[in-house]
Structure 1
């Protein structure tokens, strides 16, 4: 996969792309990252990328020319099919694990990081394929959102994580929150690991994990249960949990 980030601050991505899982994924050839300063595509004398909004108002608006030219340049260099061009924007759809899984199936992502009062509307209408927001709040720019997307997508690529089951059982991937996790020692200051996890009985462990995942979702994110089609077994567990 190729992930290109168009930004006015490419230096912000050096630590993110050069550390941890993302660094390893790039070194092993699973993904190629590039942060590009789209100011270099501005054709005016002073490399200006913004201007005052028509009709007046506070702030500045990103001009369409540098962004269009930067995206088209990346498309021309790509050997993949038409890339997904993703605008980081407070007006976009809320980013979810489902969206990350969808994007992880692509060959090429281009992430647009806005600033100021946003983009010229023609960028949104004629260039962008997706608009994404991390949540109902406003950041100073799209860079942090682009980092989140790059991380969440990369870890889903084949062979990136050491254990293929890691991404499959993550919170939200199953539609529920992840079950509690424990490691050694079994007895830490009188706080014990549940006996079932020490039993070696894989069927019982699997059942416990499913029940605890359902319990945690009910307690912390009951809204997720409204979106998920439960099995009969899960419906029975849920009924018991509600009575506890």
Structure 2
């Protein structure tokens, strides 16, 4: 996968893209990154990329020319048009399902804005997706882009040490992940559930399935409306509902 980031503050990405899983992904040739300062594509001598909004109002609006030119430049050698993703609080809320969708693409371009907003022609004629991390506003799109890039790249083949890790993550199955334990089996009188020490893999999987459902029921009941539950999980859910009454 090729990932381009368009930002006025490219230095913000240096640590994130060259550490931990992102570093490993590049070393394994699973992904390559380029971060471009789209101020370099400004068409005026002062390299200005924003201007006052027509009709008046507070703040400054990002001009269309630099971003159109920057996207064209990073897409010049692509065999097919990339997915161009605008980071914006007005966008679709990002989910694990969206991460899985983006992980199948060959080329992603992230547009990180600042100031009051974007010229509407950028939304209508340049980008393919508008994404938001949630119902809150950040100073710019950089932090949101970092989070989404991390979420997508870890799903690429050969990136995580264990191929099952991303499959069993919270939200990937529609449920929150089950509780995890490690050594020691007894820490200050706090013991690991005996089933996990039993060596009975069938019982362990059953326990994990039940615990994932229970945790989701207790913490994120809203996820259960769309989760692809099995007949057994629906039976367990009915029991939880009856116990709560």
Q: CA offset at residue 28 of structure 1?
A: 1.5
Equivalent in the alignment of 1:15: 15
- Which secondary structure state, in structure 2, belongs to the residue aligned with residue 90 of structure 1? strand
Corresponding residue number in structure 2 for 1:160? 159
Residue in 1 that maps onto 2:48: 48
Secondary structure of residue in 2 paired with 1:157: coil
Q: Aligned partners of 1:43 and 1:236: how far apart in 2?
A: 63
SS in 2 for 1:181: coil
Is 1:110 the counterpart of 2:109 in the alignment?
A: yes
Partner residue of 2:132? 133
Cα offsets for 1:11-59 (capped at 9, x unmatched)? 0000000110001111121100111100001121110000010000011
The whole-number CA distance in structure 2 between the counterparts of 1:2 and 1:229 is 32
SS at match of 1:76: coil
Residues 18-167 of structure 1 mapped to structure 2, 5 A cutoff: 18-78=18-78, 80-167=79-166
Distance 1:130 1:229 in 2: 26
In structure 1, the residue corresponding to 2:118 is in which secondary structure? Answer: coil
Q: Distance in 1 between matches of 2:194 and 2:130?
A: 47
TM-score, length-scaled by structure 1:
0.98
CA deviation string 1:77-113 (max 9, x = no partner): 32x4211000000100000000000000000000000
Paired position in structure 1 for 2:179: 180
Runs of 4+ with >4 A deviation: none
Unaligned runs of 5+ in 1: none
How far 1:231 sits from its partner (Å)? 1.5
Corresponding residue for residue 240 of structure 2: 241
Q: How many angstroms does 1:205 deviate by?
A: 0.5
Tell me, in whole angstroms, the C-alpha distance in 1 between the residues paired with 2:186 and 2:125.
60
CA distance in 2, matches of 1:111, 1:229: 31
- After the TM superposition, which of the residue ranges 172-181 and 230-239 deviates more from structure 2? 230-239
